[in-house]
Amino acid sequence: MSGPRRVHDMGGLDAGPVCQDGHAQEPWEKRMDAIRMLCGKRGLLRTDEMRRNIEDLGPGVYDRLSYYERWCAAVTNVLLQKNVVTVDELGRKMTEVEQRWTKARKS
Amino acid sequence: MDEGAEVVNAQFGIGDTVRVRRAYPPGHVRAPYFTRGKTGVVDAIAGAYRNPEELAYGRYEGKALPLYRVLFRQSDLWPDYDGPDGDTTIVDVYENWLEAAEGGQG
C-alpha cells in the first residue's frame, strides 16, 4: 500500500544522467539570487516556504523550468500570498519592463 | 540558517528501532517517499529544529522537534536491490514521522 507521490520527491526513480558542466550565471539569475536573499533578510521568506512553493509548481512546470526560473516563480508566489505585491502591480510592471526592453533593443 | 536547538524529551534514543509512518498527506512533507513505512535504527540525534512542515506555510512559531539520523538497510528500502547485504543508507527524519517498531523489518 502506498499513496500519491509528489513530483519533486523522486528518490529512487530513474532521472537520467546528471549534467556536471559548469556554467556562468546570467545577470538575471544573479539578481534573482539577491532578491531571494533580501526577502529572507526582511523576514518575508524562509527556505521551507521556497521549497513548498517550488514543489507546488506541480508536474510539467516543475520539470520544465530551470533552477532560477523555479526560484522566480516561487518568490513571486510568496510575495503575492503575503500581500507584498498584487497581481495588478506585477502585470503593469512587467509590461513596463518589456516595453523598455523592446525600445532599448530598437535604438 | 537555523542552528539546531538543544534536544529535550527525545522520544527515541540511539539504537532504537523505528518505523517511518506510512502516511501520504498533501502539502510540504519532509519524510522522503521511499522511507514511508520502512523500518530502521536511530544512528544519531542531529539536534532539534522547528518543524519545516509548519515553517513552509509561514508558521514560524512552535517548538523544536528532534531530528534523527535513521539507518536503513538498502535491501529494506528497495525491493529489487541487488548490492551487498550490508549496504545501508542514512536519512534525516523528524520525530513526528517516526513510531516505535520491533526489531524486525517493516
Write down the ipTM of this complex: 0.84
How is chain B split into domains, by residue range?
A: 17-100
Q: What percent of chain A has pLDDT over 90?
A: 80
Residue B25, all three cell numbers: 498527506
Portion 2-31 of A in contact with B at CB < 8 A: 2-6, 9, 11-12
Task: Give the residue with greater pLDDT, A81 vs B104.
Answer: A81
Q: Which residues contact B75 (CB under 8 A, 6 or more apart)?
A: B81, B83, B85, B87
Give A-chain residues touching B55 at CB under 8 angstroms.
46-49
* Beta carbons of A1 and B22 less than 8 Å apart: yes
pLDDT for the residue B106 = 44
> Mean pLDDT, to the nearest integer, of A22-48?
94
* Beta carbons of A11 and B52 less than 8 Å apart: no
Phi, psi (degrees; rounded to nearest 5) at B72: -115, 150
CATH number of B17-100: 2.30.30.50
pLDDT for the residue B33 = 97
DSSP alpha helices (H): ranges in chain A?
27-41, 47-55, 61-64, 67-81, 87-106
Out of A11, A46, A52, closest to residue B34 by CB:
A11
State yes or no: pLDDT of B104 exceeds 80.
no
**Given pLDDT bands bounded at 50, 70 and 90, which one contains residue B105?**
very low
Per-residue b or e along A72-104, where b marks 16 or more CB atoms closer than 10 Å to that residue's CB: bbbbbbbbeeeeeeeeeeeeeeeeeeeeeeeee
Mean pLDDT of chain A: 93
What distance in Å separates residue B92's CA from the closest CA in chain A? 14
Q: d(Cα B98, Cα B11) in Å, to the nearest integer?
A: 9
pLDDT digits (tens, 9 = 90+) for A17-29: 988 888 899 999 9
**Most confidently predicted of A42-46, B34-38, B57-61:** B34-38
Domain A27-106: state its class.
mainly alpha
Out of A3, A47, A52, closest to residue B57 by CB:
A52
**Given pLDDT bands bounded at 50, 70 and 90, which one contains residue B93?**
very high
Portion 44-63 of B in contact with A at CB < 8 A: 52-53, 55-58, 60
State yes or no: pLDDT of A107 exceeds 90.
no
pLDDT for the residue B68 = 98
| Cβ atoms of residues B88 and B81 within 8 Å | no
pLDDT for the residue B53 = 96
**Given pLDDT bands bounded at 50, 70 and 90, which one contains residue B3?**
low
| Cβ atoms of residues B64 and B80 within 8 Å | no
Beta strands at B98-100 and B17-20: parallel, antiparallel or unpaired: antiparallel
* Residue A59 identity: P
